[in-house]
Amino acid sequence: MDQYWEKQMIDRYRNKAIEQQNYITLTKQLRMQADNETLAWIDAFTKKQIINKIPHHDYEIKIFDSPEALDLEIKKKASSEKSRLSRVIANYDWDYKKGKKPEDTSKKYWEVDVWIENQRWHKPWNYELEQNLNKDEKKKIKEQAWAEQAHTIAEVGSTYTIQGFERDSTSLYYAMQKAPKGSVLVIDRGTETTYAWVGEFVAIMAQQCGMAGIIIDGPATDKLALKKGNFPVFCTGFSPITSMVTGTSKGAVQIPISCGGTVVKPGDIILGDADGVIVVPEDFLPYLETAEKKEAVEIARREFLANGGIYNKRPDFDVVKLFEYDMDKNIQNIKNNECKYD
C-alpha cells in the first residue's frame, strides 16, 4: 500500500509540473561549481573512460602514470601550509569491513592495493594506523579531523557526502553502514522541502554507527526529540512527512555536492554550532587569524561591559554622521569648488 501511494503521489506531482511547464528530467547526478568544459571532461573520464584534453580552469586536474607518482604529489602538497590537508582518497573498489580484521592473514591492515604489471602500491584505509598510536597520542588527536592528524598522510581516506532525491533515502542508510567512524554525513537534497530524511531514530542509528553528526540541506522531523538528544543534526527546517527506503531513486554518495549553496567535497572539514555550519576551506589560516582577532576583541568588550562600561555605539563607524551627512550637497560643492564644474 505504501509503495502504491508513493507512485500515485509522484505521478500527481509529475503531471502537475508538466501542466505548469516546470518539469525537469535529471540526466546526471554530478553537480559542481565548475565550467561546462571541466564537467564534460569528468563525465567522459568517469563514465566512458575517455581521457580528453585537460581543461585548465577552477579545478586542478592531473593524470599520473602510477599511484606512487600521485602519492608523491599529495605528500608534496601536504608539506605546504596552504594545502597541508591534502590526502589520497579512493572509492570502495577495495575491501574494508569495519570492526573486523582482513581475511588475508598476511595483511595487518585493510588496504587499497594496486598492481600495475609486477609493481605493487598499497596503503592502509583511513583510521587503520590509529591502532599503532599510544594512549597519549590518541588523546591528542581526539578532537582533530582525519586530515588534520599527521599520521594520516600514510593512509587513504574516505569521507562521505550524500545526494538523494524525492522520498527514497536509500543512500543515507548505505552511507551510515559504510562511512568511516567519526564522519559527518552531509546530505544534498536539492530543492526538497517536503520529505524529511532524518529524525529521532535515524539520528540514533547514525550515532551508534559511529557518525559524528548529520548536516542535511533539507527538512528533518522529530524536532523535540532531536533537541533533547545529544547527537548534532543540522537542517533547513522540519516536516512531518518522512522518507522511505525503496531503491527507486537511490541517489549517490562520495561526490561533490551542494549544501546551502556551498560546494562540499568528500574530505572537507565541517564545523557547526548553534548558529550554523561552515565548510572550512583548504587555505583556512588567514580566516583563522581573522577569527582569532575578532574573538580577542569580543573578549575585551565583555570584560569592559562586566566592569560597568557603556557600549551604546560602534567605535569603528559613525552611523549618525552617515545618515545626517548631506551627500548630494557636498558632492555638488566639490564639483563647484575643486573640479570647477558649472
**Residues 6 or more apart whose Cβ sits within 8 Å of residue 130:** 138, 141, 151
Greatest pairwise CA separation for the chain in angstroms:
92
The count of residues in the chain is: 342
For the chain, what is the radius of gyration of the CA atoms? 26
pLDDT at 32: 59
Highest mean pLDDT among 17-21, 56-60, 154-158, 204-208: 204-208
pLDDT digits (tens, 9 = 90+) for 290-330: 889 999 999 999 999 999 999 988 888 787 877 777 777 77
Cα 101 to Cα 64: distance, rounded to the nearest angstrom: 31
Q: Residue 86 above 90 pLDDT?
A: no
Closest CA to 130 of 93, 157, 161, 104: 157
Distance between CA atoms of residues 122 and 45, nearest Å: 23
What percentage of the chain carries pLDDT values higher than 70?
88
Residue-level pLDDT at 242: 93
Grade residue 3 by pLDDT with cuts at 50, 70 and 90. very low
Which of the 8 DSSP states describes residue 83? G
pLDDT at 333 over 80: no
Reported as a single tens digit per residue, the pLDDT across 98-125 is: 667 888 877 888 888 888 878 888 888 8
**pLDDT tier at 8, thresholds 50, 70, 90:** low
* Mean pLDDT (the chain, rounded): 82
When pLDDT is averaged across residues 17-36 and rounded to a whole number, the result is: 68
pLDDT of amino acid 27: 57
What confidence score (pLDDT) does residue 159 get?
A: 52
Report the C-alpha gap between 314 and 85 in whole angstroms: 38
Chain-centroid distance of CA 34 in Å reads 16
The whole-model pTM stands at 0.50
For residues 246 and 173, the answer to whether their CB atoms sit within 8 Å is no
Q: What is the Cα–Cα distance from 200 to 5, expressed in whole angstroms? A: 24
* Local confidence band at 158 (pLDDT 50, 70, 90 cut-offs): very low
Of 94 and 228, the structure prediction assigns the larger pLDDT to 228
Residue 179: strand, helix, or coil:
coil
Out of 23-37, 50-64, 93-107, 162-176, least confident range: 23-37
What is the C-alpha to C-alpha distance for residues 87 and 77, in angstroms, rounded to an integer?
A: 9
Question: Between these two residues, 223 and 1, which has the higher pLDDT value?
Answer: 223
Compute how many other C-beta atoms are within 10 angstroms of the C-beta atom of residue 258.
17
pLDDT at 251: 81
Higher pLDDT, 89 or 304: 304
